Amino acid sequence: MQAIADNIRELGYYPFHLPLGLKLNERSSTKSPCIRCDTFDGYPCLVGAKADAEVNAIRPTREAYSNFTLLTNAKVLRLHTSESGREITGVETDIAGERHWFTSDIVVVACGSINSAVLLLRSANDKHLNGLANSSDQVGRNFMKHVETAIVSLHLDINHANFQKTIAVNDFYWGEPDFPYPMGMVQNTGNVLADMMPAEAPPLMAPLVKLLPHQERHLLAERSVGWWLQTEDLPDPNNRIRVVDDKIHVDYTANNNEAAYRLVHRWTSVLKSISRAAQHVLPFSLYPRSHLPEQAVAHQCGTCRFGTDSKTSVLDLNCRTHDVENLYVVDGSFFPSNAGVNPTLTIMANTLRVGDYLAQKLK
């Protein structure tokens, strides 16, 4: 992986270390729980080495504060309002098959962009006929999830790195001379594993890959480097979340495809240049690719956009709903537009910002 990064730099680009949020500090005297396994990407970490919400936030909070309660196996069914429709007066839940109600001065929704919209739509009442906090008809609309492509570069040489998700490149984020629009970000995927290949192979290759025995798939996997390309999709009111007869519908048509295709072709040309320039590293290469379908809804955002105009947005700039005074939405729903990068850090930063605002408000 270092050789690949060096060759990308020799071509005039600026690869950088991909921030992964792993508890791996090699300059610290404290032993890291990370064991550098080959399944860290896309799998739960069994040794607590991922700096995720559970490890870094929920567990320490449970230990430090007696007034914090986490309920598991619980599903929020509906939000109920006062007769005026301006305040949330009850949160109806199903906990282990039993119905429970909760009340609070402030209710914060953070179900993810899809399910936050679903909860508001399912909470329609006489004062909110089109769904809770939906006088703008924007709840569920402008759903975004990135235009995503996976590329696997296959080589003759074995890639001995079992910790491959290390390189990121943003040189094409703002386009190129003849295309002055954002094209997106390039980064490694986690290791390509033999058992993953039948499900993730491109459509034209999938039938062949499925026929290969595990050992042959393993030979391919250990000679591969995975690349993940993501381009921002644009807010479109017709890309939306709907609830019909209590079933969730995701209406999504990919847009901004020209930028995404340009990024794919540009990065493939970079990989080919590396292969030609460094025969000792990448003597032979193939580049099968797979565009991720609608089912891939990671990086979801939009659906409850924030703004200053209650006619065109669901939330105000502090992420409080325009229509309901004590209801806030603080997940990725608030995004009015997308970026070409993982939205998680922006979601976290905004949540801290809203938390500070609420703490001050409660004083």
Task: Give tens-digit pLDDT for 287-335.
Answer: 677 777 777 888 999 999 999 999 999 999 999 999 999 999 999 999 9
Query: Do 272 and 166 sit in the same domain of this protein?
Result: yes
Give the count of domains, the chain: 2
Specify the range with the lowest mean pLDDT, choosing from 29-38, 92-101, 154-163, 302-311: 29-38
**In a domain? residue 64:** no
CB-CB contact of 227 with 165 (8 Å):
no
Q: Would you state the pLDDT for residue 204?
A: 67
Asked if residue 117 has pLDDT above 50, the reply is yes
Question: Helices marked H in 2-148 — which ranges?
Answer: 2-10, 53, 59-64, 113-122
Least confident of 110-119, 172-181, 192-201: 192-201
pLDDT (average), residues 75-96: 96
Give the mean model confidence (pLDDT) for residues 342-348. Answer: 92
Domain end call among 248, 269, 291: 291
Q: Which two tokens stand for residue 80?
A: 């109920």
Q: Which two tokens stand for residue 193?
A: 């594993």
The three-point CA angle 116-118-124 to 5° equals 110
- Section 335-360 average pLDDT: 94
Closest Cα to residue 18, out of 255, 189, 265, 270?
A: 189
Domain membership of residue 156 (yes or no) is yes
Residue 17 and residue 168 in contact, taking contact as beta carbons nearer than 8 Å: yes
- The CATH number of whichever domain residue 105 belongs to comes to 3.50.50.60
- Could you tell me how many helices (H) and strands (E) the chain has, helices first? 9, 14
Question: Does 174 reside within a domain?
Answer: yes
Residue range 59-73, pLDDT digits in tens: 999 999 999 999 989
pLDDT at 187 over 70: yes
The pLDDT score that the predictor gives to residue 277 is 60
**pLDDT of the residue at 283:** 47
* pLDDT at residue 247, as a whole number: 95
Domain span at 198: 2-20+146-291
